A and B are shown apart, each in its own frame.
Chain A
Amino acid sequence: EVQLVESGGGLVQPGGSLRLSCAASGFTFSSYWMHWVRHAPGKGLVWISRINSDGSSTNYADSVKGRFTMSRDNAKDTLYLQMNSLRAEDTAVYYCARAEYSSSSRHFDYWGQGTLVTVSS
Chain B
Amino acid sequence: DIQMTQSPSSLSASVGDRVTITCRASQSISSYLNWYQQKPGKGPILLIYAASSLQSGVPSRFSGSGSGTDFILTISSLQPEDFATYYCQQSYSTPRTFGQGTKVEIK
Question: What is the interface of chain B mostly: helix, strand, loop, or mixed?
Answer: loop
Question: What is the interface of chain A mostly: helix, strand, loop, or mixed?
Answer: strand
- Classify chain B's interface size: 20 to 34
The answer to whether B31 and A104 touch across the interface, beta carbons within 8 angstroms, is yes
- Tell me how far the C-beta of A14 lies from the nearest C-beta in chain B, rounded to whole angstroms: 24
Q: Which of B32, B42, B96 sits near A113, CB closer than 8 Å?
A: B42
B75-98 contacts to A (CB < 8 Å): 87, 89, 91, 94-98
Chain A positions within 8 Å of B71 at CB level: none
Look across to chain A and name the residue whose beta carbon is closest to the beta carbon of B45: A111
Given contacts A35-B96, A45-B38, A107-B89, 9 further A-B contacts (CB under 8 A): A45-B36, A47-B96, A62-B95, A105-B49, A106-B32, A106-B91, A107-B46, A108-B36, A108-B44
